[in-house]
Amino acid sequence: MVEAAEEFHFSPRPNRASEISWRPWSQEAFEQARQTGRPILLSISAVWCHWCHVMDETTYSHPGVIDLINREYIPVRVDNDVRPDINQRYNMGGWPSTAFLTASGDILTGATYLPPDQMAAALTQISTYYRSSQAEIASRVLEARKRAASGVARSAGELDNGLVDLILEAVKSAYDPQYGGFGNAPKFPQTDAILLLLEQSVVRSDPDLRRMAVHTLERMTAGGTYDHVEGGFFRYSTTQDWSVPHYEKMLEDHAGLVHALALAGMSDALDKTTGYLDRVLRDPKTGLYAGSQDADEHYYSMDAEERAESNAPYIDRRVYTAWNAALAVSYGERSGHLLDSLFKHAYRRGEGVTHAEGVGGQLGDQVWSMWAALRAYQRGFGEKWMQVAVDLAAHLQDRYADSQLGGYFDHAGGDELGRLGERIKPLAENSVAAMALIELDTLTGDPSAPYRERARKALESVAALPQSYGLMAAVFGRALDRLGHALKVSTKNPELARAAVAAHPYAVIDPSGDERAVVCAGTICLAPVSTPTELAEAIREASRTRA
C-alpha cells in the first residue's frame, strides 16, 4: 500500500484507493493478466482532475470495490499527462476513464466516472462475461483490429485551400456573439480557433474576425473562468457565459492563451496571466514550468487575504516538454532562459527530446520543440538553435514518419503493449509539425531541401479529418494557410523584426540580414527597406505576389 501511494498520485483528500493493488502500465501486468486469466481494469486519471479525486474518495475507497478489483482483476493505473499515447487509445470520453480490457489489451467496454454501486455491478458482470465468453470476445477483438488497421489510410486526403474556408466557416458558425467563445456549455477556450480568427483577420483584412477573437478573450478574462485574484485561466466553463469554471489550471491551455492575448494586444490580461505562470508554475531554480495546478473550488472562492492564509492547491511539478516548448513559442523574446533550461533538461542530439522525467518522447514533444528552436533562432538567440531544429527534423523523420503515406505517428514505437501497436496520426501534432517545417523550409531557402514536401505530406496524411472535426480542425487550417502564404523577412534589426511579425502572422524572421529588412515571397525578393512603415508596405506587396 505504501509503494502504491508513492508511485501513483491519488486524491489529496482522505481515501483508500492505494489499497487497490495498482500496477503501472508494463509487460509484467499484461503477462500476469494472461497467466491468471483475469481481465485488466485500466484507470486513466490526471493529477489535476476533480472527478478522478472523487472516484478515489468514493468508488476506489469502497471496501467491496477494493476487494472485487484485487480478487478478479489486474488493475493498472495511468496518468494521462505522463502517457498521452495510452490516453489517445483508451480514453472513454473524459477523466477519469475506466476501461475494461482483455489480457491482450483490447477494449471490452468502459466508462468515465462510476459511483461505487455501478462499479461493483460492472466488475461482477464483466469478470463473469470474460471467463465464460472467450470465443465471442475473440471475434469482437478481430473486428475491432480490422477497423483500427484502416484508420491511418482513412485519415489521408487531398489538400485544397478551400479547407481553410471550410474550417473558418465552422469556427464562425459555432461563435457565440453574446458571450464569446464557441458553442454552448460546457465551453472550452478553443485557443486554436481564436488564433485562427486573429491570423485570418490579418491575412484577409477582415476586422470582424478579430472582433470575434477579442470579444471571446474579453468575456473569458472578465468572467469566472479567469482567476481575478492570482491570475490565470481555469480549464473550462461549465456554463455558456463563462461564469462557473472547472477550477484546474493547465500549462497546456496557457501556452495558446498567452499567444492569443499577445496577438489581440490585451497587454493587461497578458501581464497578469504570465505573472501567474511565472510566480506559481515556474520553478525559480530551473526556469521550467509545472504541468498543472489542482482544482479547489473552496480555495478559489476566497479573496486574496484568505488565500494568503491557506494552502494553495497542489501543483504537479513534473516538467512536460511539449507544454514548456509551446509556452516558449508564445513567450517571444523573453523565452531565452526557458529554452536553455528545457533543452538542457530534455534534449540529446540525435535522440530528440524526452516527454517528462524518465518518460520517452512523443510526437508532440518533438514538433513543439522543433518549432520552439526555430523561434529561438528567429529571435536572435544564436545559430545553435537552427542546428537543433535541423537535428530534430531529422529525428522526427527517422523515428516518427510514415515512410509510405507520409505524416507522423504519435509515438516512435518501442512500447507495443495492447493498442499501442496501432498507428495513429493525430491531426494537431501533424499540423504543428507542418507549421514548424514550413518555417524551417522558409529559413533555409533551399529548393532541394525536403522540409516543405514533408510539411505537405504531414497535412495530406490528416486532410480527410477536417470535414468531420469542424472548429476542432482550426490548427490544421492555421498550418495549411501557412503552406501558401509564409514570407521571409531578413533583418537583424529587432524593431523591424517586431514590425514584421505584427504586420503578417506568417512572417518568418531570418536574423542573418543587416539593419535593413528584405522581404521575400518564395524566390522573389523585394528591395531593402529601413522603416516599419516601409516594411509593412513591402509585406503587403509580397503577399499580393505570393497570392
441-497 pLDDT per residue, tens = 999 987 777 999 999 999 999 999 999 999 999 999 999 999 999 999 999 999 999
- pLDDT for 4: 46
Distance (Å) of CA 197 to CA 127, 171, 218, 428: 50, 8, 15, 17
Q: What is the pLDDT of residues 330-342, one digit of tens each?
A: 999 899 999 999 9
Average pLDDT rounded to a whole number, residues 270-299: 97
The CA-to-CA distance between both ends of the chain, in Å, stands at: 64
Q: What is the pLDDT of residues 260-280, one digit of tens each?
A: 999 999 999 999 999 999 999
Q: Are strands 487-490 and 507-510 parallel, antiparallel or unpaired?
A: parallel
CB 193 within 8 A of CB 503: no
**H or E segment to which residue 536 belongs:** helix 532-546
- pLDDT for 513: 83
Distance, in Å, from the CA atom of 55 to the CA atom of 513, rounded to the nearest integer, reads 58
Strand residues in 123-162 grouped as ranges (E) = none
Rounded to the nearest 5 degrees, what angle is found at the Cα of 334, between the Cα atoms of 331 and 335?
A: 65
Q: Where in the chain is the domain with CATH 3.40.30.10?
A: 2-149
Distance, in Å, from the CA atom of 485 to the CA atom of 544, rounded to the nearest integer, reads 10
Outline where 383-521 has alpha helix (H): 384-399, 427-444, 451-460, 466-469, 474-485, 494-503
Q: Where in the chain is the domain with CATH 1.50.10.10?
A: 173-317
The pLDDT-based confidence of 5 (bands split at 50, 70, 90) is: very low
Closest CA to 547 of 205, 209, 208: 205
CB 369 within 8 A of CB 93: no
Give the cell for residue 132: 465464460
Closest CA to 367 of 352, 380, 383: 352
- C-alpha 179: how far from chain center: 25
* Residue 489 CB neighbours (<10 A): 28
Q: What is the pLDDT of residues 134-190, one digit of tens each?
A: 888 888 888 877 777 666 778 899 999 899 999 999 999 999 999 999 999 999 999
Closest CA to 393 of 360, 441, 346, 333: 441
Distance, in Å, from the CA atom of 144 to the CA atom of 88, rounded to the nearest integer, reads 16
Note the pTM of the prediction, 2 decimals: 0.95
Say whether domain 173-317 belongs to CATH 1.50.10.10: yes
Q: Where in the chain is the domain with CATH 1.50.10.20?
A: 320-484
- DSSP code, position 225: T
Q: Class of 320-484 per CATH? A: mainly alpha
2-149 adopts what CATH topology?
A: Glutaredoxin (3.40.30)
Distance, in Å, from the CA atom of 112 to the CA atom of 127, rounded to the nearest integer, reads 18
Type of residue found at 261: L
- C-alpha 158: how far from chain center: 25
Q: Would the pLDDT of 544 be above 70?
A: yes
Distance (Å) of CA 539 to CA 161, 338, 507, 517, 547: 21, 31, 9, 10, 12
- C-alpha 495: how far from chain center: 31
* Residue 137 CB neighbours (<10 A): 17
* Residue 347 CB neighbours (<10 A): 21
Distance, in Å, from the CA atom of 330 to the CA atom of 478, rounded to the nearest integer, reads 15
The pLDDT-based confidence of 6 (bands split at 50, 70, 90) is: low
